[in-house]
């Protein structure tokens, strides 16, 4: 409550200064009447409030809306800080918070589940929070940055000593609230896809790049002595989700990947530069491993002042290679160039190998303490984010795939009206074409804008995979999946763009592999009920299970929370989601292991949960 009162008082002071006494008193009058009506059931206050609001001018209305909106934002900041304090208080008393990692591991311990078993489970796990584009829910970055600054200042107040420090802190909060008041809450122009990409990337820069390595460190502490694989990674739809957005295409996919790569690489460059300042170790005072000596000797740094500082020389060489990688992948320059750019890293594993050499040398020469603060989090970040930052998913509606394929078949004179075929007729035709080595496109034929755009996306995806690696693009999601042919249509389009290929040309022949996982999205109540029958019939088709096995043995299935909520309501949606999950798990049970005992096909469920309850949101625990 103290934080809410503080922020409310400062907001009131800012409004009085910015809007004048009359403007402040109007807002205060609205607040008092609202409290009397809502909390005290004062009917006369309700009538007075109704009259007051109806007689506001346009400018007064905007001022009132902004005041109450910002008070809600500030109250959220105070509430978040309260949760932090409460968690710390409970931890000091030995009470663990529901949903916390600490409580999870405590329950595992009480259940006699060993750390080794947890580590083995995590080695098979793949958890990926996914950011999607919802422009109506996205605040301006300027607002978010100011509110983050206020949250940090409020958090600092617990450790302040003396009236002067508290006054200085309060003055800084006042400055940020003044900034908020004089900043537009809404955009005057429509968000572009590039804007959406930048909004999402701001969360990586402010949170994910540093916090996810900390999360791994906490798990490693709980599983002391056991390696923790990088099972938690980030996913993204922005730039690849074409369903309902005609502005998303090949160029946005290319832009998204380049900007993601740039954010990851610039973070590594900053951390390597800071690491170079920290690792000032002299070889006159401490030894090093032969591998560390070789890494330092390979550095282009010839500054005589660092001749006895092998770690700094090595890190300058790593920085130069990262700068070259940044230029090669994104076309942008690093901020610093201590030496001329060197040969670029061709894969994150090469960067990780160099950092591992440094870590091993420090550990073997009594400098273990220098690994944990920055080097270990950087190594984990490279494992998690690579050069791609987040896995970018492709998504399109099944009817668009169908329209493109129908056009290709018509131009190739393979079928004049594919859409008129019944389901079995479609399956028969699609299976035959998947097994055919010949492409569908006819040289010189004129295709519609839709067909050209869709095929360009897949061809760009192939280019991005070659540039950024396997983790850059993993999933191709089919919205409104209603039949087996919906999955086969996408497979055939991927084959047309060499994303499904093999030595014999056919997608279903020995050696063929798919570069992307075909992911059906079951959204409505009816779709959820058909999820298991559709996947059972899909895997009963000859060659499909073998293709998935050769391609990595992973089958993702997305379950839609938002549309099923709209379709059947909250309770029915959750019940049908639960039933669909059970049925799918049972279906894929026998496929998990091959007849020779080797690993089979892994089922992964992609839960399309939104933020609000109506979109499936709420505490996941």
> So which residues are the catalytic ones?
134, 566
Side-chain half-sphere CA neighbours of 238 within 13 A: 26
What value, to the nearest 5°, has the Cα angle with vertex 52 and ends 46 and 57?
150
Strand partners, 556: 604
The vertex-448 CA angle with 442 and 451, nearest 5°, equals 75
Are the beta carbons of 476 and 519 closer than 8 angstroms? yes
DSSP H helices, 129-286, are 141-156, 163-181, 193-203, 209-222, 250-278
Cβ proximity of 538 and 518 under 8 Å: no
Secondary structure, 3-state, 369-420: HHHHHHHHHHHHHHHHHCCCCCEECEEEEHHHHHHHHHHHHHHCCCCCCHHH
Could you tell me the two tokens for 66? 């902004």
Nearest to 132 by CA among 532, 475, 464: 475
Burial of residue 231, with CB atoms counted within 10 A of its CB: 0-12 exposed, 13-18 middle, 19 or more buried: middle
The answer to whether 239 touches 392, Cβ cutoff 8 Å, is yes
Q: How many angstroms separate the CA atoms of 429 and 415, rounded? A: 9
> What is the DSSP annotation of 8-71?
HHHHHHHHHHHHHHHHHHHHHHHHHHHHHHHHH--HHHHHHHHHHHHT--HHHHHHHHHHHHHH
Q: Give the list of residues 6+ apart from residue 373 with CB closer than 8 angstroms, or none.
A: 278
Q: Which residues pair with 236 in a beta bridge?
A: 131, 392
What's the alpha-carbon Rg for the chain, to the nearest Å?
29
Q: Which of 292, 183, 194 minimizes the C-alpha distance to 248?
A: 194
Q: Pairing state of beta strands 235-236 and 130-131?
A: parallel
Q: Which DSSP symbol is given to 605?
A: E
Neighbouring CB atoms inside 10 A of 35's CB total: 12
Q: Are 531 and 560 in contact (CB under 8 A)?
A: no
The SS3 assignment for 612 reads: coil
DSSP letter for 1, please.
-
Strand, coil or helix: 610: coil
Show Cβ contacts of residue 520 under 8 Å, excluding neighbours closer than 6 positions: 477, 478, 481, 486, 487, 531, 534, 535, 557, 558
The whole-angstrom separation of Cα 588 and Cα 418 is: 31
């Amino acid at each position: 409550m103290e934080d809410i009162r503080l922020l409310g008082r400062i907001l009131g002071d800012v409004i009085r200064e910015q809007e004048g006494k009359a403007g402040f008193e109007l807002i205060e009058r609205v607040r008092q009447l609202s409290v009397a009506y809502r909390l005290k059931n004062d009917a006369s206050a309700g009538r007075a409030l109704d009259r007051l609001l109806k007689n506001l001018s346009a400018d007064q209305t905007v001022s009132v809306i902004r005041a109450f909106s910002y008070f809600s934002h500030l109250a959220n900041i105070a509430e978040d800080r309260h949760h932090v304090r409460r968690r710390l208080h409970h931890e000091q008393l030995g009470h663990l918070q529901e949903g916390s990692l600490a409580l999870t591991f405590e329950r595992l311990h009480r259940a006699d589940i060993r750390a080794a078993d947890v580590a083995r489970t995590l080695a098979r796990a793949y958890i990926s929070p996914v950011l999607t584009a919802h422009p109506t829910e996205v605040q301006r970055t300027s607002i978010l940055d100011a509110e983050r600054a206020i949250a940090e200042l409020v958090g600092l107040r617990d450790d302040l000593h003396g009236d002067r420090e508290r006054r200085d802190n309060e003055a800084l909060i006042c400055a940020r609230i003044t900034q908020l008041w004089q900043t537009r809450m809404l955009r005057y122009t429509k968000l572009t896809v590039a804007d959406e990409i930048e909004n999402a990337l701001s969360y990586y820069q402010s949170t994910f790049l540093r916090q996810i390595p900390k999360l791994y460190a906490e798990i490693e502490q709980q599983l002391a002595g056991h390696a923790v694989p990088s099972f938690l990674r980030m996913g993204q739809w922005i730039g690849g989700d074409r369903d309902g957005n005609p502005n998303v295409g090949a160029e946005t996919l290319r832009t998204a990947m380049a900007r993601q790569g740039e954010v990851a690489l610039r973070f590594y460059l900053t951390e390597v530069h800071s690491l170079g300042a920290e690792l000032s170790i002299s070889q006159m005072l401490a030894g090093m491993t032969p591998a560390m000596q070789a890494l330092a000797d390979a550095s282009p740094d010839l500054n005589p002042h660092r001749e006895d500082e092998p770690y700094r020389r090595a890190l300058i060489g790593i920085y130069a290679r990262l700068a070259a990688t940044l230029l090669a992948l994104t076309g942008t320059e690093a901020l610093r160039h201590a030496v001329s750019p060197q040969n670029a890293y061709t894969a994150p594993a090469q960067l990780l190998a160099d950092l591992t050499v440094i870590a091993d040398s420090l550990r073997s020469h009594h400098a273990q303490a220098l690994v944990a603060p920055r080097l270990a989090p950087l190594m984990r970040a490279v494992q998690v984010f690579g050069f791609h930052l987040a896995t970018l998913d492709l998504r399109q509606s099944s009817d668009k795939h169908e329209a493109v394929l129908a056009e290709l078949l018509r131009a190739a004179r393979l079928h004049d009206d594919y859409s008129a075929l019944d389901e079995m007729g479609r399956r028969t035709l699609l299976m035959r074409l998947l097994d055919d080595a010949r492409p569908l496109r006819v040289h010189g034929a004129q295709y519609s804008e839709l067909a050209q755009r869709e095929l360009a996306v897949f061809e760009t995806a192939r280019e991005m995979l070659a540039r950024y690696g396997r983790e850059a693009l993993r999933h191709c999601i089919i919205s409104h999946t209603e039949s087996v042919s919906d999955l086969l249509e996408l497979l055939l389009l991927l084959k047309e763009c060499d994303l499904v290929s093999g030595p014999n040309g056919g997608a279903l022949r020995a050696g063929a592999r798919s570069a992307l996982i075909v992911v059906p999205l079951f959204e409505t109540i009816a779709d959820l009920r058909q999820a298991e029958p559709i996947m059972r019939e899909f895997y009963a088709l000859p060659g499909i299970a073998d293709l998935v096995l050769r391609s990595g043995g992973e089958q993702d299935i997305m379950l839609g929370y938002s549309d099923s909520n709209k379709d059947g309501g909250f309770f029915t949606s959750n019940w049908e989601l639960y039933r669909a999950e059970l049925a799918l798990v049972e279906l894929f049970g026998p496929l998990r292991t091959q007849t020779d005992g080797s690993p089979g096909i892994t089922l992964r469920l992609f839960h399309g949960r939104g933020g609000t309850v109506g979109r499936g949101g709420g505490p996941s625990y």
